[in-house]
Structure 1
Amino acid sequence: MHISASTFLLVSSGLLGLSEASKRTPKNPQTCCNLLNQKFHGQGKVVMQSHPDYTTLNAHWLAASQLSPTCIFTPKTARDVSKAVALFSHHHCVFAIRSGSHMPNKGFSSTDNGILISLSGLDEVSYDRHRHIVKVGAGNRWTNVYNHLDPKGVAVLGSRDSDVGVSGFLLGGGISFLSNKYGWSSDNVVEYEIVLANGSIIKANKYQHVDLLGCLRGGSSNFGIVTSFTLKTYNINAHAAGVVRYAQSSVPQLFTPLYNYIVTGQDADPNYHIIPNFIKDAGQPHRATFTQFYTREVDLSNPPLVMKPFVDGSIPAYNNFVANLTGVGSLPKAFGGGSTLSSPFRSQWHVTSVLADEQLFRTIHSLWLNVSLPYETSIPGFSNSIAMQPIGNKYIQTTNATPGRNVLGITAPLVVISANIYWSNASDDTTMELFLKDLFTKIKAAAAAVGKAAGYEYLNYGGVNQNPLTQYGHNNLVRMRRVKRKYDPRNVFGTLVEGGFKIPGI
């Protein structure tokens, strides 16, 4: 294979840049804040620790994950982000990026050692009804997007929790209530506006920077700071949604209809979407909560066939809050008020995936209960849940049909298994890490024993000790490395941004 001199110089200079960037010593963070303040003098966009707005801007919904950046930068435009990133790159300043900071992983959306870029000022929501698209600023939470679109009778593939930030959700792939019908949320982004490490502002779409387009669909924040997303919209307004809660005695009856839904129902009727979640609080019987969504109104006395087993009372439920609603923004009302905006607890997540198997689902549920049991009395504040979320054929079909193929690497349907734990005391952090490690080691072994291990890890549920990018497959890792070296040759977003999941081998 012949390599031109210009190509050789470009590649070799990029590799040298990566090496040099990793060796440079970061500049003192206070000096960086002062330089940033000079750059934006008098604009009120640089908030020092002594400023009265610092505490509010720095707040994290999980108090245990909150850090103390030296200052906080609050850009209002992509051009603001561009100037700041160019300054950080030139002076080698450590920084962190925050959209919604939904993940509990400490250091993923803040820093104790540099500048926090809070994207909350990038809150544009501009709907184009003729082109059936909406441009969404990266600093939005989904509730703001839904509130803008609901009166217009349209919806996007946003988060199922309206308090989640737009950017991290879409850069991790994104599972939506509409995904059984339209695929991954990221595959419904038609354009990304992104600031690169050198301060350039470019757009990645099916016409330009297609290589970058695919890597932004699941590659997280490794390539730059996305400042806006342009998404497809769909005519969905009236729908059925809510929560059905089952007591411990009903849980064993759920696995057969759950398996049937996963292997046939979600493809046969893609209007329907559920989140199967099993919950155990210390000292309480375990229970199941199945969140329901159907893309149009239903006769609840005679629900669609795919929905029927979960809502018709044949499996006894102690609460059934499914109702016909208007506007996707009404979902938090159906779910009892939406997410908690602040928590005094500590938390960790972990994720894996398996192929569908009814007996394996029962085994995973039993493992979860048995491994959790000793901690219920020994760990103050212990609370624990595990979810089983299917990724069906529509996700794969949409990926195959979308320009800029995503890097997630899924070629066959699977089920995402994710755990979410809470506890009270910092002294128990290591114990809780070991709990998750033990639980998921057993889950993976059980899946492997019956030939049902899948390997994929959904990035948006990834734990602090995981790196889901490593599970995207060899070819996608090669793609991400190649694109990384092209668009961030000095590895600014791998070295100066300390948190987040990094591309291995860079």
Structure 2
Amino acid sequence: MSQFGFLQGFLDFFSPNSMMGSDVTACQALGSIFNNVTIYPTDTRYDALATENWSQTAWGSPTCIFQPTTVGELQTALPILVEANSSFAVRSGGHMPVSKAANIDKGVLIDMSKFGGTQYDAENAVINVGAGQRWGDVYTALDPLGVTIAGGRVMSAGVGGLILGCGLSYLSDLYGLVCDNVVNFEVVLADGSVVNANADSNSDLFWALKGGSNNFGIITNFKLRTFPIFDVWGGTKGYPFEALPDVLDALAEFQTNPEKDPYAQFNMNAYVTNTTFGVVLSLVYLKPDVKPAAFDPFYRIESSWATTMDTTSLRTLHNLMSEYPIPSIPRVEWTTTSFVPSSSMYSAIRKIFASSSSVNKMKEITAGTGIFTLQGVSARAVHEGNQRGGNALGLKPVPQSWFHTDLGWWFSDDDVAAHEAIRSLTDEVEAAAKSEDSYLPYLFMNDASLDQQVIKHYGEDNVKRLREVQQKYDPSEVFQKLVPGGFKLP
């Protein structure tokens, strides 16, 4: 009997007439074929894998965990899940704190961590990256080669989720977003077939995967462009929280400069509920030039405020990104909105954080640590993405700030209060942006919250086009119906 015939007989035996749930049926079928890589709650490996996601808000209790090691195993497994009508989730690194985006209860968790490894093609200046890799592993592989990629800035984050959500890089002003620098996606579709999506083959799917999340298939490999950037200048500067107005004024000047240097990048975090941490500013200049003039607005802050820390120096880009601060708090949620930067908009944000009742509610939560972050995206970054085939995001080619608020806390009893506080605060910022006529209708998926309608914000035309791609490559809507987590097509 063929493997498929055996599988069909197995699934028929455990038909809907039995007392067994579809998830159990799928796990039994997977285990009968892939015993060593199908992990049940009785397995000693299970607990660590079920709770590997970075935030406890994303932990789950899957019926089983499937760890494919080859594309062929995944090709066999996906039709099993479809035939059993079993829900499932796919996890690359599990950095997203959104509940069930990369984990699941009473379903199958497909853990892609065995899809590791990198292969560098110097002739074409590209690197093949397994979908289970983390960014720190990729940069480590590239370091001896003296090149880098437009990749993630948090070393522990997974490659797959960040790229499919679009991804923001310190190289974005030069070369576009992370998703814009994918040359090829290797994709396993719901029927078990494998396709390559690139500019010449399945180009409609290629476009859709750049921001389309987990709605079309499972990516097993990404081919990414590389660039000869290695030694840089930059690091982290800390300021007392009282310096926030001056930091924001400098930020507005920096971002609105019509001659903004695309090699100069920043990331700003302000700790609004624990002001002893103050303001943390990451500066990155993608050349080995000490104290480049592009950052003059920030140097002037120090005429009024002494830094609480300063790690800026000549170093490698990988080394610089490795010091990005990641709070060690067990439960995390974040929300996002976007706007055109200006001094008046940043002034409005200062007033909100000084007076909002939501900040007080955050302080009332056990260990409630609220941080707001500003990330800059230039008009050039949008143009660069368009030059590389475009993406599904619907971005306007204007300078913009991608704002997000993070909240960390200890106990699950505070989950509802934390969610309400952080959403309320972001709603206030969004309302201010609308009143300033600076609001942009884009939500950065990698920083979005559970109930934010990310893909709807890509615009009506892009949503329609995404639906057309979905009907072509997943006509049964498997990744809409059986993959409940993540950001779905509206």
2:284 counterpart letter in structure 1: F
Q: Which segments of 5 or more consecutive residues in structure 1 lack a partner in the other structure? A: 1-24
Give the one of 332, 335, 340 matched to 1:350: 335
CA contact (8 A) 2:58 2:101 kept: no
2:320 to 321, 325, 331: 331
* CA positional deviation for 1:431: 1.7
1:295 corresponds to which residue? 286
After superposition, residues 80-479 of structure 1 pair within 5 angstroms as 80-264=73-257, 268-282=260-274, 284-285=275-276, 287-299=278-290, 303-311=291-299, 313-314=302-303, 316=305, 317-326=307-316, 328-335=317-324, 339=326, 343-344=329-330, 346-371=331-356, 372-375=358-361, 377-403=363-389, 405-413=390-398, 414-479=400-465
The percentage of aligned residue pairs carrying the same residue is: 30
Does the 8 A contact of 1:86 with 1:197 survive in 2? yes
- In the aligned structure 2, how far is the partner of 1:441 from the partner of 1:354? 13
CA distance in 2, matches of 1:216, 1:64: 26
Give the corresponding residue for 2:44. Answer: 52
Judged with a 3 Å threshold, the aligned counterparts in structure 2 of structure 1 residues 484 and 333 are, in CA distance, closer, same or farther, namely: closer
- Give the Cα–Cα distance (whole angstroms) in 1 for the partners of residues 20 and 167 of structure 2: 33
Aligned residues: 467
**Amino acid aligned to 1:321:** T
Return the letter of the residue paired with 1:70.
T
Report the alpha carbon displacement of residue 329 of structure 1 after superposing the two structures with TM.
Answer: 2.7
Aligned residue in 1 for 2:12? none
SS in 2 for 1:421: strand
Summarize deviations over 1:194-236 as a string: whole Å, max 9, x none: 0111111000011110000000000101000011100000001
Deviations 1:60-89 (A, max 9, x none): 222242111111111112222111112111
**Cα pair distance change 1:368/1:80, threshold 3 Å:** farther
Shift of 1:368: 2.5
CA distance in 2, matches of 1:127, 1:319: 37
1:27 positional shift: 4.6
Cα distance in 1 for residues equivalent to 2:73 and 2:350: 49
C-alpha separation in 2, matches of 1:81 and 1:376? 43
Distance, in Å, in 1 between the alignment partners of 2:120 and 2:174 is 22
1:489 corresponds to which of 457, 464, 475: 475
Q: 1:28 aligns with which of 22, 30, 38?
A: 22
How far off is 1:426 after superposition? 2.2
Q: With CA pairs under 8 Å and 6+ residues apart, which has the higher RCO, 1 or 2?
A: 1
| Residues 1:62 and 2:52 are matched in the alignment | no
What is aligned with 1:15? none
Q: Deviations over 1:462-483 (max 9, x none)?
A: 1011121010011100110000
Query: Contact 1:154/1:237 (CA < 8 Å) preserved in 2?
Result: yes
Q: Tell me if structure 1 keeps the 8 A contact 2:480–2:488.
A: yes
Q: Is the 8 A contact 1:244 1:311 kept in 2?
A: no
Q: Which amino acid aligns with 1:354?
A: F
Scaled by the length of structure 2, what TM-score is found?
A: 0.91
Which deviates further from its counterpart, 485-494 or 387-396? 387-396
Partner of 1:348: helix, strand, or coil? strand
Within 5 Å, which residues of 2 pair with 1:4-19? Answer: none
Which residue of the partner structure matches residue 487 of structure 2?
501
SS in 2 for 1:427: helix
How far 1:109 moved relative to its partner?
0.7
Aligned amino acid, residue 329 of structure 1: H
1:374 Cα deviation after fit: 1.9
Q: How many Å apart are 1:286 and its aligned residue?
A: 6.4
Q: What are the superposed Cα offsets for residues 160-180 of structure 1, whole Å, 9 maximum, x if unpaired?
A: 111110001000111001111
Counterpart residue identity of residue 462, structure 1? A
Note the residue ranges of structure 2 that are not aligned, 5 or more in a row. 1-18
* Contact map agreement 1:254 1:315 (CA 8 A) in 2: no
CA shift, 1:377, in A, is 4.6
Aligned equivalents of 1:321, 1:185: Cα separation in 2: 26
Distance 1:472 1:150, change over 3 A: same
Post-superposition Cα deviations, 1:258-293, rounded to whole Å, max 9, x if no partner, equal: 11211127x5311111001111234x4462111111
